[in-house]
Structure 1
């Protein structure tokens, strides 16, 4: 896209954007407010169609593209927008840049146009929003939630306005509610990964409300899974939250009973297992883990929701390590995490997080030096995942104040 802009090939630019969103010419026309023939003429290279800068800006705003992404068109350099904070996934981000997000000033802070919404929401707008959610999850695997929370919240602001101000049919309204819930879940995960647990909790609660309004049982189960996950994390300092996690699992299982696939039940089972482990109930934990393995062994199903895609035998190995650590069996946890890291299929971001879990297990098993060495190697790769940094807090507690680990950890924490 940058190369097309830098060479002023606006026909290719529009075609690339449309392909990335998986839209037909008619759907893109609906999204932007053009006719299908206009989109066809643009992509055919007719020069009297989109070469007016006002039309280009209108197009960018309609597809919710930050205006700084158009910079290559102005300077003829395909990486010209890399100088703008937040546009290069490989850049280190100043976390203070996100302070404006919660105050509602993100669009102005990095050059988005005004938050525009259609007068009437159609199927193309839903498709565009779902493509945005997929991209956020995809980018999260590369760069971490801290760098993606702001654009996710920006998208959510647009969807809220659509629900409040736009016109739509009853059918589109239900789909928009479900999509708003999916976006809340995604933004909630990014907030969770960024270390903002209060915001994550608010977003999950909003997603649960949308699921109820839309009558979307699949969304309800997905939200309860995330609520259970967060409650388990909060139980590290408040053990009573583990019982809240068990309640969320029970609500999710009730919503799932008429349609769920084995993968869905496996996901709920591992959430339940970790909650039981946090409460010290070894027997209930083992039973839940065994249930998860049994469900996963049934294999995939054509009706598996996309959000169960990560549930696999590899995932269960991770949860075995996590529950072993919670049950004060660090040697077994070390074995599970080492086995997990031997898998070639896990992504870089997940591998990073699993290594932080291994470092904690090593520390709990008494291997302090090995644990700190592992943690030190991780610090240069944490990037936008404050969650991974927080996992290393026990190592910071035992590291000497003058140690390299303490110095680098403290600088990352303050960033």
Structure 2
């Protein structure tokens, strides 16, 4: 995936649905819904390769187009519900892309759209997806003293209620992992420990009972590497940096998409910086910068490197990191104006 290919996704989204502003009433059929589902899947796959920043505007434009079709098109009741669900899933995807791009107000708007569509379509699975993604954003903002872990736990509780009684699967592991994240940010060591242990048990059950191809695409990322990263962040949140670093070492050694690999290494770099390992922090940080400069446009990941930038000021060999980090920050700020 290269940045010159980003325009292909805009074209794909443009071709994914009929025009909503053409004369007369637009008739929507099942094939149009499937094109929208495929477009959202393409965006999710692209995000794993290149990050959210270059994709979010395309996703939101597609979302606005789908919302317009819902309000102006003609379709059967069954097609309408399917279109609402597909549009809601696109809204969740757009919300995550906005979150990865540090455009948090836009992410909230997209998640709000997804909740409304889930309610209208009576789609419990979409509600769960939206709850867990919105909780993830709330947890990330809480780490910056800009969000509430209590709000995140409320969202996760709603998701938990909806999946209670379902067969073993990755959704149960993700629910428990989100609980662990929220408890960690809140400083609840006991709650974090219980929740992360549950997440591992649920993942073991999912591996045994749920073939990965049988679960929704948005849950296929839930694996050992993902839980190790949640566990690492939780240990960091409760102040156990030795345990956090041990988990980050595991995460960084496991196979991952380019965006996830960059994010995991950025968190290890930041934790090393906070733990006094300036040399290790800079080594990891420089590697992450290389990914961010070459192929992964993820302002969320760049922001994680803040503690590395702080120690680079007085570190031997830190000048290169500081110059490159500041250049990326300036470029990102200019692209959001």
Q: Smaller-chain TM-score range?
A: 0.7 to 0.9
TM-superposition CA deviations, 1:267-318 (whole Å, max 9, x none):
0100000110111111110000111111111124266332211112222111
Whether 1:410 aligns to 2:319 is: no
Q: How does 1:229-244 map to 2 (within 5 A)?
A: 229-238=136-145, 241-244=148-151
Q: Is the 8 A contact 2:139 2:147 kept in 1?
A: no
Please state which structure has a larger fraction of its residues in helix.
2
- Give 2:230's aligned residue: 319
Deviations 1:374-405 (A, max 9, x none): 21221121131111101111212232188222
Please tell me whether residue 370 in structure 1 is matched to residue 283 in structure 2: no
Structure-to-structure mapping, 1:290-301, within 5 angstroms: 290-298=197-205, 299=207, 300-301=209-210
1:116 maps to 19
Q: Measure how far apart 1:91 and its partner are.
A: 4.3
- In the alignment, the residues of structure 2 paired with residue 334 and residue 180 of structure 1 have an alpha-carbon distance, to the nearest angstrom, of 39
**Distance in structure 2 (CA, Å) of the matches to 1:125 and 1:268:** 32
Aligned equivalent of 1:219:
126
**d(CA) in 2 for partners of 1:323, 1:305:** 26
Partner of 1:272: 179
TM-score, structure 2 normalization: 0.86
For CA contacts below 8 A with separation 6 or more, give which structure has more relative contact order.
2
For structure 2, the 5+ residue unaligned runs are 332-337
Q: Equivalent of 2:189, from 269, 282, 285?
A: 282
CA distance in 2, matches of 1:163, 1:240: 32
Whether the 8 Å contact between 2:132 and 2:178 is mirrored in structure 1 is yes
Per-residue deviation at 1:90? 3.2
Instruction: Give secondary structure in 2 for the equivalent of 1:146.
Output: coil
Residues 1:355 and 2:281 are matched in the alignment: no
- Tell me what 1:336 maps to: 247
- Aligned-residue RMSD, C-alpha: 2.4
CA–CA distance in 2 between the matches of 1:376 and 1:136? 28
Aligned mates of 2:174, 2:167 — CA distance in 1: 11
1:94-105 superposed matches below 5 A: none
8 A contact 1:242–1:278 mirrored in 2: yes
Give the paired residue count: 312
Structure 2 CA distance for partners of 1:239 and 1:193, relative to 1, 3 Å:
closer
What is residue 387 of structure 1 aligned with on the other side? 300
- 1:313-366 Cα distance to aligned partner (Å, 9 max, x none): 2221111111111111112111111112222x3222211111001101111221
Please, which moves more after superposition, 372-381 or 214-223? 372-381
* TM-score, scaled relative to structure 1: 0.71
> In the alignment, which of 33, 36, 46 is matched to residue 126 of structure 1?
33
What SS is found at the alignment partner of 2:3? coil
Matches within 5 A, 1:251-266: 251-259=158-166, 261-266=168-173
In structure 1, list runs of 5 or more residues that go unmatched: 1-87, 98-105
After TM superposition, give the deviation of residue 373 of structure 1 in Å.
Answer: 2.5
